[in-house]
Structure 1
Amino acid sequence: MSNNASVSAHGALSYEEFKQFQHYHLRLVGLIGSITTFVLFAPILFIMMRIIFSDILGMDLLLIEAVLAFILSLVGAVLVYLWFKLIIRYRSSSEYKSDQDIRNDVFYTFGDDGIHLNRTNSNKYYDWSDVRSIHELQEMYLLYVSKYKAIILPKRFLETDEQKQLLKQIIRRNITTQKTKWQ
């Protein structure tokens, strides 16, 4: 296989694909929020239960207080996680509807010289050194060019398995293994 081979693909990103990217990209924030909620609320609720049960009701039920604090904190963490998922859905929808570039056809060319993206009204070039990390998901590849910005390449844009394999070969030649997370 020659080193000057390239892979071309094109297509328009669907709302579901964009939503999947947003969910993957922001999943850690939701998880951290849920864990933080649990860790902060568990001791606070335990102290409140101690005050209610011992000072107000005059009972010393340590195990029940701990279990109630745990359950209420867990409920709070789950609610934060569900709220976060709702926010991602809303954010994805509004961003997808407001950004015409996301919905337009994109022509991708991946070669040893870099990545070329051609849209109706713009052309963009990324050198391989611009790519911070690459993540393979079940339905797409994400090539992060900054902490918050990624080139989204749905696998359906690549028509054959040979194209997918060639893309991986090009990436392996140009990106260190520490930057790649293959499925």
Structure 2
Amino acid sequence: MECLLNFSGTLTLQEFQKYQWHYKFRAVIYGMMSYFIFWMGIGYFVQYNLLGMIVILILLTISFGSALFVGNRRTKREYKDNKRLSAMTSHYIFKDTGITISNPTGSTQYDWSEIRQIREYNDMFLLYITRKMAIIIPKRFIGSQEKLVEFRDMLNNHYQYSKIKLRK
């Protein structure tokens, strides 16, 4: 089987945090909106004065900040505890049959049919294996702009579902 493309790299904490943010973005936004609407509704029905509404907004801001702080600490701990992410270089090999990811502890192989969704962001590609788990491929792993175009073409040619969001 012919190797279409290969590259390697070690994921940084910042890249892992960006992945977590992309993954959790909708949930965070919906949660914030729901929480805001709930407390503003309480304030409206209890008929707080302006000072009461300001206090509610301050409490909302503190609670959102706390939630983001706790989430960030959890992400850092998860990255630090997962040695495959934080301390090892992973090698990515793309073939007609699928994707192989190897590092010093072993290798994992995915068929193209196992990829549920592909997303491209400014600095990374996310190839979702499940709704909650993705192969994280920072663009810096790929290298040059030519290889990036080649990588996009390969994804378009081998990914058989409609849930692909790549940049032009």
TM-score when scaled to structure 1? Answer: 0.81
Q: Deviations over 1:83-104 (max 9, x none)?
A: 3321221111100111101121
Q: Deviations over 1:65-85 (max 9, x none)?
A: 4x6676555545444432332
Whether the 8 Å contact between 1:145 and 1:151 is mirrored in structure 2 is yes
1:119 pairs with 2:103 = yes
For residues 68 and 109 of structure 1, what CA distance do their matches in structure 2 show?
60
Q: Which runs of 4+ in 1 moved over 3 A?
A: 67-81
For residues 70 and 113 of structure 1, what CA distance do their matches in structure 2 show?
59
1:15 pairs with 2:13 = yes
Find the structure with the greater CA-based Rg. 1
Unaligned runs of 5+ in 2: none
Whether the 8 Å contact between 1:37 and 1:80 is mirrored in structure 2 is no
Residue of structure 1 in register with 2:126 after alignment: 142
Change (3 A) 1:19 1:47: same
Whether the 8 Å contact between 2:3 and 2:93 is mirrored in structure 1 is no
1:81 pairs with 2:64 = yes
Alignment of 1:80-99 (within 5 A): 80-99=63-82
Change (3 A) 1:151 1:145: same
TM-score when scaled to structure 2? Answer: 0.87
For residues 117 and 52 of structure 2, what CA distance do their matches in structure 1 show?
41
Q: Deviations over 1:110-162 (max 9, x none)?
A: 22211110111111011111111111111111111011111001111112222
Give aligned-pair identity as a percent: 25
Residue of structure 2 in register with 1:32 after alignment: 30
